[in-house]
Chains A and B, each alone.
Chain A
Amino acid sequence: MRLIELSPPGRKVVTGTLLFTAKDIVRFARKYDPQPFHVDPEAARSYVFGGLCASGWHTCAGWMKTYIAYWDAEVARLASENLVPPKLGPSAGFKKLQWLKPVYAGDSITYSVEVTGSRPLMSRPGTFINTTVNDGVNQNGEAVMRYEGTILEFA
């Protein structure tokens, strides 16, 4: 079964919701993005964002986390119905990543994926590149993140 058959263009799939606690935001940022507005609630007040908020890379990693949980469950579901799940591989990157609004401490982000297309990879016969649009929306319904991703698939 191909991914494009399982998830045709136009169908948005919610992958999960992730709560961003202050503790998680600071823990991630201390390792990878220790700008004041990601590690220090007091200092964050004097910047454009106005409060402690997650590194944009943390927001993206959250999409990945919910996607893998969704996909593992989906593979198990298909197998239980005697269907062959799509064989997905690594991603070669992304484009048009937008951090549309800050993700503040206490926000819950609901992520989704929509497959937008699929094409054969000329350099590697039997392999396809799927394109996706991936979104994150906060508890108030505001979009906080969007990007166009790619997923390799082995037919």
Chain B
Amino acid sequence: MAGLSYFFEDFTPGRSFPLPQRLVPAEEIVEFAAEFDPQPMHLSEEAGRASILGGLSASGWHTSSIFMRMMFDGWLSASASEGSPGVEFMEWRKPVLAGDTLSGRSTVIESRILRSKPGIGMVKFLHEVENHRGDLVMRGENPIMIRLRSPAPAQERQA
């Protein structure tokens, strides 16, 4: 646990954490889809072009999984994260096509100390992922549990 850069106290509302660039190769789109989402537009360029997605495109769950890895590499692995209870919403706004390079950011919306779990706070994020053409391809909000650097005195605790 030593060497962590970000604790609950560092996630102040409005602060943004970049998500690093990530190439999405055709082979990876097909590999993920073959195991989890074997629909034609995720398996071949030809079928993708014939669909409303316009080309070989990643399964939405693949896009979300790639976003997860970008978040891990970008800041989560350097944080005192204790996992997440879920995702309030996630929009797959545009197709993620083979050869796209994604990037983005996680922005803190709000944070509160948890009364039910001593020493842990809940931080709510807005996550945005764009392609290299500048289109927003994914957007979502989710809360993540993060340990406090120094547990707050009782009188400062919030709900």
Which residues of A line the B interface, CB within 8 A? 28, 31-35, 37, 47-49, 55-57, 60-62, 64-65, 68, 89-99, 147
Residues of chain A contacted by B41 (CB below 8 angstroms): 90
Using A97-B87, A99-B84 as known contacts, say yes or no to A68 and B92 having CB atoms under 8 A apart.
Answer: no
Q: List 26 A-B contacts (CB under 8 A).
A: A28-B65, A32-B65, A32-B69, A33-B68, A34-B77, A35-B83, A55-B68, A57-B61, A57-B64, A61-B32, A64-B36, A64-B61, A65-B36, A68-B37, A68-B38, A89-B51, A90-B52, A91-B60, A92-B92, A93-B89, A93-B93, A96-B88, A97-B88, A99-B85, A147-B86, A147-B87
**Beta-carbon nearest neighbor of A46 in chain B:** B1
CB neighbours of A95 from chain B (8 A): 87-90
**Minimum CB distance partner of B91 in chain A:** A93
Which B residues touch A147, using CB under 8 A?
A: 86-87
Query: Which chain A positions have C-beta within 8 A of B90?
Result: 93-95, 97
Report B-chain residues with C-beta under 8 Å of the C-beta of A90: 41, 51-53, 60, 92, 95
Which of A37, A48, A49, A90 has the most CB atoms of chain B within a 10 A radius of its CB? A90
Query: Smallest CB-CB separation from B57: which chain A residue?
Result: A90
> Which one of A33, A61, A94 lies within 8 Å of B36 (CB-CB)?
A61
CB–CB A93/B68 < 8 A? no
List the A residue with the shortest CB-CB distance to B73. A34
Chain B residues positioned under 8 Å from A61 (CB to CB): 32, 35-37, 59, 61-62, 65
Nearest CB of chain A from residue B21's CB, rounded to whole Å: 16
The 5 closest A-B pairs by CB, nearest first: A95-B89, A32-B65, A61-B36, A93-B91, A97-B87
**Residues of A with C-beta under 8 A to B37:** 61, 64-65, 68
C-alpha gap A51/B145 in the complex (Å): 18
Q: How large is the interface on B (under 10, 10 to 19, 20 to 34, 35 or more residues)?
A: 35 or more
**Total cross-chain contacts (CB, 8 A):** 97
Contact B92 A56 (CB under 8 A): no
* CB-CB nearest in chain A for B42: A90
CA distance A65 to B87 in the complex (A): 20
A135→B89 CA distance, assembly (Å): 16
Q: Give the distance in Å from the alpha carbon of A68 to the alpha carbon of B38 in the complex.
A: 7
Judge whether A68 and B39 touch: CB under 8 Å.
yes
Smallest CB–CB gap between B119 and chain A, Å?
11
B156 CB, nearest partner CB in chain A, Å: 23
Docked complex Cα distance between A37 and B60 (Å):
24
Residues in A with CB closer than 8 Å to B106 are none
The residues in B between 45 and 79 inclusive whose CB is less than 8 angstroms from any CB of A are: 51-53, 59-62, 64-66, 68-69, 72, 76-77
Q: Contacts of A31 on B, CB cut-off 8 Å?
A: 65, 69
Residues of A with C-beta under 8 A to B60: 90-91, 93
Contact B65 A64 (CB under 8 A): no
Chain A CB within 8 A of B82 CB:
yes
